[in-house]
Amino acid sequence: MTSQQPPLWRRALAELIGTCLLVAVVVGSGIAAQQLSPNDVGLQLLENSTATVLGLTVLILVFGPVSGGHFNPVVSAADWFLGRRHGTGLNLTELGTYAVAQVAGAIGGSVLANVMFDLGTSISTKDRTTPGHLVAEAVATAGLVLLIFSLARTNRGLLAAPAVGAYIGAAYWFTSSTSFANPAVTIGRIFTDTFAGIAPVSVPGFILAQIAGAALGLGLLLALFPAAGSAADDVVVPHRAKETA
């Protein structure tokens, strides 16, 4: 028996479909929440966050064994950064391929959600750029990176699906931005003028805050787990498939 990762095209397909479905869950549940609870924003957020927690957990379980279930360019970039000294994780070609697949999938997810609810695809007008939102995105992304890579380093990568789902669900509520924590998802949510949308003018600030948060999360990770890069192949889910030689 030999142990190797699936070919890049299969991993890219998993990232594209997984990110597409993730954004469809986020946007679609936001639309449903608006329709079901039109006069209660708190209940809308509860409905949206609950669907996201469950959907994200399931998607990581489904696609994680193929691609790692990143669905997030900052997670993929952190995987490359940590693994480059240890010969683990993504290389630059794989990182670029993952990022393109994730962004394309995220845009497709918004379009899909709009279609499912008989809405036309339109550019969001929801401005989310405030200092509080940007700090929230940095905090949310730092926590996400620290969580994912600390689980991998301590041989608990198989807990990533429920742990990441739970963290994002909690961060919906303890951050003012509702925890996008993902540049691809942020770009994808431009293409829906609904509950989960974000105006294009807000996107650059969000992405910069997410990058800063990822850097902070990596700094904390290396302070706590200096050899974290050795486990980069187990992010988010161990994905080395055993095949018969």
Task: Name every residue whose Cβ is closer than 8 Å to that of residue 114 and which is 6 or more positions away in sequence.
Answer: 27, 31, 120, 121, 122, 191, 192, 194
Domain boundary assignment for the chain: 2-233
Tokens in use for 237? 């889910």
The pLDDT score that the predictor gives to residue 240 is 55
Separation of alpha carbons 61 and 54, rounded Å: 11
Query: Where residue 243 falls among pLDDT bands split at 50, 70, 90?
Result: very low
The pTM score is 0.92
Tell which CATH classification among 1.20.1560.10, 1.20.1080.10, 1.10.3210.10, 3.30.413.10 matches the domain 2-233: 1.20.1080.10
CB atoms within 10 A of CB 6: 16
Q: Is the pLDDT of residue 16 over 90?
A: yes
Rounded to an integer, the average pLDDT of 105-129 is: 96
Separation of alpha carbons 173 and 46, rounded Å: 9
Among 84-88, 100-104, 187-191, 218-222, the minimum mean pLDDT is found in 84-88
Q: Is the pLDDT of residue 135 over 80?
A: yes
